[in-house]
Amino acid sequence: MKKILKIMLLMVLVAILASCGNKKEDEHKDHEMEESQAASSKVKGGSYIVNLVDTKGKKAGEATLTQTAEGVNVEVNATGLKPGEHGIHFHEKAICTPPDFKSAGAHFNPTDKKHGFLNPKGPHVGDIHNITADESGVVHEEVLSTMVSLAEGKSNSLFSNGGTALVIHADADDYKTDPAGNSGDRVLCGVIKK
C-alpha cells in the first residue's frame, strides 16, 4: 500500500513539473512571437518591409522603405489608429518593446538638431511628415523622407549603429515643438535592421 502511494505521489509530482515546463515554454514562445513580429526588416525587390506592431505586440501593418534619388520613400499600410493625422518618425534604436515603445529611444538625430520642420534649429534627420488615418483607423499612404538613406556606411543610414525604428504616434506632429512635436504616445512601432 505504501509503495502504491509513493508511486502515485511521484506520478502527481512528475505531472506538475511537466505542466510548469510547458507553461514556461508557452510564455517563451509568446515573447518570441511578439519580438519576431516587430523585428522584421526583409528585402523585397530592393525595398525593406518593416512589420509594425501595436501596444499589445500584435502585428498592425507594415511599412515598405524604398531608396529613391530624393531619399527614402515610406509606404505605410496600418490599422488600429484613431482617425486623423499622426506623427511618424524614425527613432534611434532598433527595439520595439510594447506597450510604450520607449525602447526605441529618441528620434534618429545624427546631426544633433532640434525637432521639427518649422523649428529654426531643426529638423531631426528622423522627422517625417504626418500621415492620416481614415474614419476606420486605416492608413494607406506614402511619404518621402529626404534626410535618411538605406545605404550602409552613411551617418544618416537607417541601418547605422545596429538599426533604427519606425514609430507612429497617437496625435499629429506640430512640426516645431522639441523633442517630438507634441505627437503623443507611441502607438505603433517597427524595427529597421538587416
Q: Is 91 a catalytic residue?
A: yes
Element (H, E) at 32: helix 2-38
169 catalytic per annotation: yes
DSSP 117: T
Which of 54, 86, 91, 173 is an active site residue? Answer: 91
Q: Is 186 a catalytic residue?
A: yes
Q: Grid coordinates representing 101?
A: 515603445
Paired residues of 152 in beta bridges: none
- Would residue 86 show up in a list of annotated catalytic residues for this protein? no
| Among 86, 171, 173, 186, the one annotated catalytic | 186
Catalytic residue among 86, 89, 171, 173: 89
Whether 89 is catalytic is: yes
Which of these is catalytic: 107, 112, 171, 185?
107
Q: What is the distance between the alpha carbons of residues 3 and 5, in angstroms, rounded to a whole number?
A: 5
Is 129 a known active-site residue? no
Q: Catalytic one among 54, 115, 171, 173?
A: 115
Q: Is 107 one of the annotated active-site residues of the chain?
A: yes
> What CA dihedral angle connects 74, 109, 158 and 47, to 10 degrees?
10
From the candidates 26, 54, 86, 127, give the one annotated as an active-site residue.
127
Exposure class string for 101-116: b at 16+ Cβ within 10 A, else e: bebbbebbbbeebebb
Calpha distance 191→194 (Å, rounded) = 10
Q: Which of 31, 54, 134, 169 is catalytic?
A: 169
Q: Which listed residue (124, 134, 174, 185) is catalytic? A: 124
HSE, CB side, 13 Å, CA atoms: give it for residue 75.
8
- Known catalytic residue: 178? no
Residues known to be catalytic: 89, 91, 107, 115, 124, 127, 169, 186
